[in-house]
Amino acid sequence: MKLSMPRFDQAPVLVVGDVMLDRYWHGGTSRISPEAPVPVVRVDQIEDRPGGAANVALNIAALGAPASLVGVTGEDEAAESLSASLSAAGVNTRFQRISHQPTIVKLRVMSRHQQLLRIDFEEPFATDGVQMSHDVESLLAGVKVLVLSDYGKGALQNHQALIQAAVQRGIPVLADPKGKDFTRYRGASLITPNLSEFEAIVGRCADEADLVAKGASLMAELELGALLVTRGEHGMTLLRPEHPALHLPARAREVFDVTGAGDTVISTLAAAIAAGEALPQAVALANLAAGIVVGKLGTAAISAPELRRAISREQGSERGVLTLDQLLLAIEDARAHHEKIVFTNGCFDILHAGHVTYLEQARMQGDRLIVAINDDASVACLKGPGRPINSVDRRMAVLAGLGAVDWVVSFSEDTPENLLRQVKPDVLVKGGDYGVDQVVGADIVREYGGTVQVLGLVENSSTTAIVEKIRNR
């Protein structure tokens, strides 16, 4: 399945559901309490993160999509912390504040990256359902997807009214369900239960065929557009009426903390669908995102650069031969990770020891090395009849196999000046015995603040000399 980075900036999403604050107390432990056989934690850091529906909205915003959030809080310090964090992330919030009830807080005591204790402060909210429906309907006109983030805490009491309001406007509804009554999600475009939540409704699934059959029955009963069952280390299964089941393997390299993984799945799904991605592609992107987030500690969001890098790795474009469009995306991702971009160019017709040494030296000037090579017509124009010896695809394949080279791209002009204007490398490198001012494109790179380096060549290493030696023989 081919994946690409969606235009999240054009994908507004509205999240409605149970808002909570995830609070972390961090500290060291060096002794056991004399009062009970428990460790004593000396708290030296307090960290607040948006949780529940707030984490879903935060994940959407972190991907670069416009996010709005409707939920319920108290009139307290925790609500202020939530509002400040979400506002800083660019999330548009509309909270129904209830003065006599506390904001839901989940407090985790952490030491050396391990959770020792969790304490929950919560009461089911007496939500004003009419007011919430009014708030949601006032925001629907400006969004492309509605997410119901249901943690069963009482914020969502009018599921059907919200679903119907969105459906009437042609807006897809995605629901992360809770509880043993899924009829409240009737008519949703997609629901995303985990396997235990799914089996609590349909009964234990003996195997994948059983899961698919029971999922099909549930979709028919609830008139669902699709069903996505998240299955932990077994990945995800997407079911759609009249379509074969799509099973995606788990992508996590190392599972550190599964807190909030479901939030990441539905937020990435929602943003991708809002950006116009087909459902299978959106699910594949959500699967990649989940694989990233479980490698982080606590409730966490993934950023657009992180997802872009995962897509590049998935498509095999983290290294190797790229088109110009792929290269520009790879550079954007590298710069988001504060990597220094090095650029060099040439014909590289017959790769020899001098080339290899030169490219290794060029790579040492930064974090990523781009090698731009002249296409066949350009080489013929520069070198004369009979050149190149090797076609452009073969030259690119050989260069891409070198450990020093990250990306290889071709250009058709005699010089790489137009390419330099688009790539804007931090360092332009050229080999030879001429001055920096004689390097083609040096003025372009210096104009935007880049640097130019001239590296020496290995003696007695020349493609032209090799060609002549072969001809003479």
Residue 129: CB partners within 8 Å, gap ≥ 6? 157, 158, 161
Asked whether residue 140 is marked as a ligand-binding residue, the answer is no
Per-residue model confidence as pLDDT tens for the chain (473 residues): 677 889 999 999 999 999 999 999 999 998 999 999 999 999 999 999 999 999 999 999 999 999 999 999 999 999 999 999 999 999 999 999 998 889 999 999 999 888 999 999 998 888 888 889 999 999 999 999 999 999 999 899 889 999 999 999 999 999 999 988 999 999 999 999 999 999 999 999 998 889 999 999 999 999 999 999 998 878 889 999 999 999 887 755 454 445 557 888 999 999 999 999 999 999 999 988 888 877 666 566 777 888 887 777 766 556 788 888 878 878 887 887 789 999 999 888 888 888 888 899 999 999 999 999 999 888 888 888 878 888 888 888 899 888 899 999 999 888 999 999 999 999 999 987 677 888 899 999 999 999 999 987 655 555 555 556 555 66
Q: How many other CB atoms are found less than 10 A from the CB of residue 12?
A: 20
Rg of the chain over all Cα atoms, to the nearest angstrom: 28
Cα(17)–Cα(153) distance, integer angstroms? 9
Active site residue 120: no
Residue 42: CB partners within 8 Å, gap ≥ 6? 27, 28, 29, 30
Cα(199)–Cα(227) distance, integer angstroms? 13
Asked whether residue 418 is marked as a ligand-binding residue, the answer is no
Asked whether residue 242 is marked as a ligand-binding residue, the answer is no
From 179, 289, 186, select the one nearest 230 (Cα to Cα).
289
Catalytic residue among 22, 150, 263, 349: 263
Asked whether residue 194 is marked as a ligand-binding residue, the answer is yes
Q: What are the C-alpha distances in Å from 316 to residues 4, 115, 132, 358, 406?
A: 12, 36, 45, 26, 12
Give the helix/strand (H/E) hosting 329.
Answer: helix 324-336
Q: What is the length of the chain? A: 473
- DSSP 3-state helix, strand, coil percentages of the chain (rounded to 5)? 40, 25, 35
CA torsion through residues 256, 191, 227, 194, sign: positive
Cα(148)–Cα(218) distance, integer angstroms? 19
